[in-house]
Chain A
Amino acid sequence: MNGAALVAVTLIIFAEKTLPWPRLAPYATAGALVLYGALVITSPKLLPTFQQDGAAMPGKMQMEVPGSDRLIKRR
C-alpha cells in the first residue's frame, strides 16, 4: 500500500470527525476527490500505481501489504 495515501486518508477522516466546522472537511474532500477522479479518468497515468504493462492491475494481484512476505515464505 502507498503509505502516504493511508496517512492522508487517516488525516481526512480525523479532520471530518473532530474539526469544529462539521461540513468543511467533507465538502473539501468531496471537491478534491471529484477533481482527482476526473483527472484520472482523462489521464490514467495520474493514478500513482498505474503502469502501462498492467503490472499494478488487480488481475495480477500486485499489492504491498503487511504480512505478504509470510505468504511467500510459506510457498
Chain B
Amino acid sequence: MDKTQANLFYLQRNLILGLLSALVAAAWAGLVWHSHTTTEMTMTHAVGYARHFIADWVIMMVAMMLPTALPMIITFHKVQAANRQPRDAFATTWVFVAAYLVVWAFAGLAAYVGMQAAEAAIVRFALPPAAAAQIGGAIIVVAGIYQLTPLKDVCLSKCRGPTDFIVTAWDDGARSALEMGLLHGAYCLGCCWLLLSSSFRSAS
C-alpha cells in the first residue's frame, strides 16, 4: 500500500467510524427521547403497529448491537482495503454493515411474531398478571442457561475473533461482503438473541 492509498485508507476508516458513531448516537438519542413516553397501542392498527415495532427494533439494534460489531467492521474494512482497491473497500464495508442489520431486522420480525403469540396465549388462557410475569421470569432463567450452551460458545467465539472470522469466511467482491455480513449477523444473533429477548421481556 503506497502513501496515497494509505491516506485514503485512514480517511475511509475514520469516515466509517464517524458515520457509525453518529448512527449509534442518533439511535440512542431516539431511545432516550422516547423512553419517557408511555403509549398504549391497541391492535386496531395491526399493520401499522408491526411496521413501527420492526422500525423501533432496528433502531434498538443499531444502538445496542452496532457498537459491539465495530471491531469486526473495522477489521473487515482493513482486510478489504489490503486486498482490493480502497474505494471498493469503502463500499463493500457498508454492504457488510447493511447485511448485518438486515439479519437483525428479520430477527425483529420473529420477535414481533413471538410477542403476538405470547399476547394471544395470555388473552386465550386469561392469565393473571402474576402468571404472565412468572413466564417472563422463566424466559430469563432459560436465557441464563443458554449462556452456558455450546451453541452460544461457538457463536460468541466467532464474534470475538474478527480476524479468524474474516480469514475463514473472506472472499472477493460485494456479494461476498453481503454473505459475510449475513453470516456475522447470524453469529451475533445466535450469541445474543435470548439475552435480548429476556431484556426485552423484562424491560417492556
Chain B residues numbered 53-108 whose CB sits less than 8 Å from any CB in chain A: 53, 55-56, 59-60, 63-65, 67-68, 71
Q: Is B37 in contact with A64, judged by CB distance below 8 angstroms?
A: yes
Q: Is B4 an interface residue (CB 8 A)?
A: no
Q: Is B138 in contact with A29, judged by CB distance below 8 angstroms?
A: no
Chain A residues, CB < 8 A from B43: 61
As a 0/1 sequence over residues 165 to 204 of chain B, the CB contacts with chain A under 8 angstroms (1 = contact) are 0000000000000000000000000011001101110111
Q: Which of A9, A17, A33, A64 contacts B196 (CB 8 A)?
A: A9
* Assembly CA distance A9 to B191 (angstroms): 13
Interface band, chain A: 35 or more
Query: Shortest Cβ distance from A17 into chain B, in angstroms?
Result: 5
Q: Which of A10, A40, A45, A60 contacts B40 (CB 8 A)?
A: A60
Decide if the interface of chain B is mainly helix, strand, loop or mixed: helix
* Assembly CA distance A1 to B65 (angstroms): 16
Q: Is A58 in contact with B148, judged by CB distance below 8 angstroms?
A: no
In the complex formed, the residue of B with least CB distance to A72 is B39
A38-B141, A66-B59 are known contacts. Are A59 and B123 too (CB-CB below 8 A)? Answer: yes
Chain A residues numbered 18-59 whose CB sits less than 8 Å from any CB in chain B: 18, 22, 26-27, 29-41, 44-45, 47-54, 56-59
Nearest 5 CB-CB pairs, A to B? A40-B137, A33-B144, A37-B140, A37-B141, A44-B133
25 A-B residue pairings within 8 Å (CB atoms): A1-B60, A1-B203, A2-B35, A5-B202, A5-B203, A6-B31, A10-B67, A10-B68, A13-B195, A17-B156, A18-B68, A30-B148, A37-B138, A38-B137, A44-B130, A44-B134, A47-B202, A49-B202, A56-B129, A65-B34, A67-B34, A68-B41, A69-B34, A69-B37, A71-B48
